[in-house]
Amino acid sequence: MRFSKSEIAAVAAVAAGGRRLQFKDGLMTFDRQTIDSAGVFLVGELERLDQRLHEPLAAVTWSRDIDLREDVTIADEFSSFTNSSFGAANGVQGSGKAWVGKDASAITGISLDIGKTTTPLGLWAMQLGWTLPELESAQKLGRPVDQQKFAGLQLKYQMDIDEQVYIGDAALGLTGLTNSATAGTNTNAQTGTWSTATQALILADINELLNAVWKNSGYAICPDRLLLPPVQYGLLVTTIVSSAGNISLLEYLKQNSLSNAINGRPLDIQPLKWLTGTTAGGQGPGTAGKDRMVAYSKDPMRVRFPLVPLQRTPLEYRDLRQLTTYFGRVGAVEVVYGETIGYRDGI
């Protein structure tokens, strides 16, 4: 079939504008976006198309670094917890102990104050939909559009939770694990700039943070986990402690940290992309966009994340479309004891 110059010009104009074009003779052409969305491609005779599906590169780590609070339900709109404070008057003058005599007529007691902290449980939802002809075409091609869209929804869900866990949501005024306003200690590293620091200075920075959190908790809880930006984590992996080259600085820290001595297990050191100063729209959790390290205790009694797993509505048929909606509730990180978390910037 031969096309006139006017028809060729019309095709070019429509392609540039991203619109469909239908000729009077019944033939229909589609722009590139329409073809790609259906997974239909022209394959040459000497072309070998890889039928495997290659999804976008993405990684989430929230389930590694925090425990879930699982008692929340889809009916709840808020999650809350309480913190109790005790108080007692001094006993004998000059002594803080509650001594009494055998004939005492006035005995001191305990006072109690209970404070409640409430955080919202936001409703998260996304809808999946496709037309029946679209589904039939995808099945014939061996590229199921419904499974691909579900995989995309799952990726979006996981990435949203990952951001919510680590840095919260600035628009809603919510913070996360790496930027909590209730953290007990938050200053610049005493040495910092690890790219030029010696091994001794790096060790001193980490030990100072662990000691500061331990002290801030009244020497009750010593952090068992340390989160580092990927570059600084890689530095610990590649730095050799001894001239024999038999142990890296990372392994040395795990085995010889304060955490190992107090908790009886090696310090768990993990890389985290959210700690880089250029994350979150160019501004990471650290002050003035600096890289940050985080020390805390991974324990649901200290810090946890309320989450209601995804549910879905029954499949709905609407004209030629099939629709279903996935929904759940996503909370905000609950820092029960802020004294057990510490931050250091500028590493």
Q: Is position 47 within any domain?
A: no
Residue 1 lies in a domain: yes
Asked whether residue 37 falls in the same domain as residue 162, the answer is: no
Residue 219 counted as domain residue: yes
With respect to residue 70, please indicate whether it lies within any of the assigned structural domains.
Answer: no
Token pair 């010009």 in the structure block, residue: 9
Whether 293 is covered by a domain: the verdict is yes
Q: What percentage of the chain reaches a pLDDT higher than 90?
A: 48
300 plus 159 within the same structural domain: yes
Residues 165 and 32 in one domain: no
What average pLDDT score do residues 4-17 get? 53
Q: Does 281 fall in a domain?
A: yes
- What is the rounded average pLDDT of the residues 295-307? 95
Question: Of 200, 213, 177, 204, nearest to 292 (Cα)?
Answer: 177
39 or 34, greater pLDDT = 39
Does residue 9 sit in the same domain as residue 157? no
The total domain count for the chain is 2
Q: Is the dihedral of CA 173, 177, 183, 188 positive or negative?
A: negative
Determine which of 9-13, 119-123, 149-153, 282-286 has the lowest per-residue pLDDT on average: 9-13
Whether residues 157 and 304 share a domain: the answer is: yes
Distance from C-alpha of 235 to C-alpha of 291, rounded to nearest angstrom: 14
Asked if pLDDT for residue 13 goes beyond 50, the answer is yes
In a domain, 245, yes or no: yes
Kindly state whether residues 189 and 336 are assigned to the same domain: yes
For residue range 115-160, list pLDDT tens digits in order: 999 999 999 999 999 888 888 887 777 778 888 889 999 999 999 9
Q: What is the CATH number of the domain that holds 178?
A: 3.30.2320.10
Burial class (CB in 10 A: 0-12, 13-18, 19+), 332: buried
Tokens of 241: 């402690």
Q: What is the domain extent for residue 268?
A: 152-316+332-345
Final residue before a domain boundary, out of 41, 58, 73: 41
Using one digit for the tens of pLDDT, what is the confidence trace for 78-100? 999 998 888 888 767 767 788 88
d(C-alpha 117, C-alpha 280), whole Å? 26
Average pLDDT, the chain: 84
Does some domain include residue 61?
no
276 close to 230: Cβ distance less than 8 angstroms? yes
What are the phi and psi torsion angles at 144 (to 5°)?
-65, 115
